[in-house]
Amino acid sequence: MTRLPLAVTFAGLVLASACSEPAPPPPPPAPPVKTAQERVQIYKDCWNLFNAQDWDKFGQCYADNAVSEAVDSTPPSVTGRTAIVERDKQLAAAFPDRKGEVHLILANGARIMGVALYTGTNTGPMPPGPDGKALPATNKKIGLLVGHTLEFDATGAHAAKDASYVEEGTMLAQLGVIPNPMARKPIAPTGAPATVGIVQAMVAAVNAHDLKAIGALMTDDYKIIEIGQPKDMNKKESLDGSKKFFAAFPDMRVTPIATWGAGDYVVLEGSVSGTNKGAFPEMGITKPTNKAFTGRFLEVMKIDNGKIKEDWLFYNSTALAAQLGLK
């Protein structure tokens, strides 16, 4: 019998052992990328954390290596989650009561633009300016609109880059540091939700079948142009119609798919579902069909001073009627 060299024998044993080991488990799947709706909500939540000075949670709004730019300011930008939080802590020390009241949110893919009313009282020293010196507290109030852009990382969960556009000449004039007769007077907080937030509040009110809350989100001269109806409706007519619809479809619910804003307008794409449990003569239902329906819709709302003024609603009524067994 031929004797194999020791090295060959050892190599064979190693190879056999390797072949007998089970394959390593596959890596876990990557987390799903956040939807546009989820990114808008994250943006709003992070503003709330900023306002609450919840620094630990606010820091998680940014990626580890995020870049935050203060456009044409000093310092112009900071890099990294820790540095961003430390910068904002300094600003909070100068304006302990400062708030960012978001008035408008525009979303497009990974990018978001916000307009916020920045208010506060200067009761602490300002961070050092270009000369390296800190300004003493003025005990005066500020209130000015600021622009903010943000770009999410690949997951859509954290900010990779953001930029703030602050008109420092107006802020310094409001603080009495420099004379500026062209500067706007401080704007007081309004308490109005962001434009996209108004739509979210309306969806919540509709899903709760809360007619009072729905009406509170409409202007007095509200008008809805519902393509499936023979004529436009005013606020009272719209609320009356909603009351009848809720009675006929007691489990009626709206599910948003996408929401975005553009100027004074907000667009909502979504679906509506329900089960017919009562008469609804407006659709030719004289007795309950006990059938369910689900349909898509597109809604465009014009916002005026924190409320919905005009409303365009598009859907396919034929598809809904077919699901309900109507001719």
pLDDT at 19 over 60: no
Of 1 and 133, the structure prediction assigns the larger pLDDT to 133
Is residue 16 over pLDDT 60? no
> What integer is the mean pLDDT of 149-177?
94
Distance in angstroms (rounded) separating the CA atoms of residues 264 and 278:
37
Q: Which comes out higher in pLDDT, residue 261 or 271?
A: 271
Quick: pLDDT tens for 262-271: 778 888 999 9
- pTM, to two decimals: 0.65
The structural domains of the chain, ordered by start, are 36-174 (3.10.450.50), 195-323 (3.10.450.50)
pLDDT tens for each residue of 22-76: 778 888 777 788 888 789 889 999 999 999 999 999 999 999 999 999 999 888 8
What is the token pair recorded at 226?
Answer: 């519902």
Residue 21's pLDDT is: 66
For the chain, counts of helices (H) and of strands (E): 9, 12
pLDDT score, position 327? 74
Separation in Å, CA 54 to CA 230, 303, 317: 51, 31, 47
In single-letter form, the type of residue at position 145 comes to: L
